[in-house]
């Protein structure tokens, strides 16, 4: 049986034994703090709309009341957005639920936005998908390339960044599953009625922004999200209620944490050594 990690400590310092050699020594307190922060990043100040957190606190549900979001849209695939005009729309949104996964440094790595029929009352509440481009059938956003000038550091900052990324990165014609599904199902009717000819995102947004917050909040029949699967497939598990989402997050959280102690210890050690210089 081979060793993954061999950590040796005296009363003040710790060091790793790698292939029989010792790494530089690091201060014990520094190492504990780095390791502790790796597995339990600081919460920071949470936005007042957090509705649920996983045990590791890296999976979060956040609720937002009905509001109008300004979005930019290019009616072209990403590679050709520079060739077409940018459109801006003020879209009224119903109650929404954000399902956010935060990475090692608390930067969001996955964001899903769901339409809700009302303010969340229980975990059996039903989820719907918003007919927005760049969202998969599961409700998850096709994440834009990370802006490395933005860092999180705490759970609270990561949650705030997720909201900014959701609405600030602009939409294009890359993924239209949920728009097509909304046109095909003709629901919510308020969003697609009075649209003539073939439904397009531009027609949808022009119609949508004419609606009031109240009209959008009264929509109760949003298209249901499909379940998450593996390797691009769907339907492995239906996720159309908050409880399904929580169960998925609990499973993902546990699976992710199992292999982490050795990895986190190695990272904490590396950071502690770096801090010595």
**Residue 182 host element (H or E):** helix 177-185
Give the residue with the Cβ less far from other proteins, 30 or 180: 30
Q: What is the separation of C-alpha 228 from the centre of its chain, rounded to a whole number of angstroms?
A: 14
From residue 170, alpha-carbon distances to 90, 129, 201, 254 in Å are 13, 18, 13, 33
Point out which residues pair with 127 in neighbouring strands. 116
Q: Is 200 in the site for other proteins (CB under 8 A)?
A: no
Give the interface segment with other proteins, choosing from 81-89, 138-146, 207-215, 254-262 (CB under 8 A): 254-262
Of 18, 22, 40, 147, the one binding other proteins by CB under 8 A: 40
CA distance linking residue 103 with residue 207, whole number of Å: 37
Q: Is 267 in the site for other proteins (CB under 8 A)?
A: no
Q: Is 232 in the site for other proteins (CB under 8 A)?
A: no
Residues 114, 130 contacting (CB under 8 angstroms): yes
CA distance linking residue 89 with residue 209, whole number of Å: 7
Of 18, 22, 24, 36, the one binding other proteins by CB under 8 A: 36
Applying CB under 8 A, the site for other proteins has a residue count of: 47
Which residues make Cβ contacts (< 8 Å) with residue 277, sequence separation at least 6?
Answer: none
Binders of other proteins among 8-27, rule CB under 8 A?
8-11, 14
Give the interface segment with other proteins, choosing from 34-42, 129-137, 144-152, 187-195 (CB under 8 A): 34-42
Residues within the interface to other proteins (CB under 8 A):
1-11, 14, 28-29, 31-33, 35-36, 39-40, 43-46, 48-53, 55-57, 120, 122-123, 242, 253-254, 257-262, 265
């Amino acid at each position: 049986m081979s060793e993954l990690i061999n950590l040796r400590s005296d009363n003040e310092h710790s060091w790793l034994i790698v292939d029989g050699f010792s790494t530089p020594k690091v201060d014990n307190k520094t190492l504990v703090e780095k390791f502790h922060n790796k597995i339990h990043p600081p919460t920071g100040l949470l936005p007042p709309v957090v509705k649920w957190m996983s045990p590791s606190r890296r999976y979060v549900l956040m609720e937002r009341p009905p509001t109008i979001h300004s979005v930019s849209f290019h009616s072209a695939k990403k590679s050709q957005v520079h060739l077409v005009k940018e459109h801006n729309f003020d879209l009224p949104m119903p109650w929404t639920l954000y399902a956010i996964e935060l990475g090692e440094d608390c930067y969001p790595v996955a964001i899903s936005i769901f339409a809700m029929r009302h303010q969340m009352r229980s975990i059996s509440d039903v989820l719907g998908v918003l007919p927005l481009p760049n969202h998969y059938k599961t409700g998850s956003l096709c994440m834009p390339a990370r802006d490395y000038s933005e860092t999180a550091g705490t759970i609270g900052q990561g949650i705030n960044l997720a909201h900014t990324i959701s609405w600030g990165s602009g939409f294009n014609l890359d993924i239209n599953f949920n728009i097509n599904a909304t046109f095909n199902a003709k629901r919510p009717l308020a969003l697609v009625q009075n649209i003539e000819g073939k439904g397009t995102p531009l027609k949808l947004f022009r119609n949508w922004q004419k609606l009031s917050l109240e009209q959008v909040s009264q929509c109760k029949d949003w298209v249901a999200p499909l379940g998450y699967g593996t390797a691009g497939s769907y339907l492995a598990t239906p996720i159309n209620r908050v409880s399904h989402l929580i169960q998925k997050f609990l499973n993902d959280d546990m699976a992710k944490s199992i292999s982490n102690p050795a990895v986190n210890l190695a990272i904490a050690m590396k950071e502690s050594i770096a801090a010595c210089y």
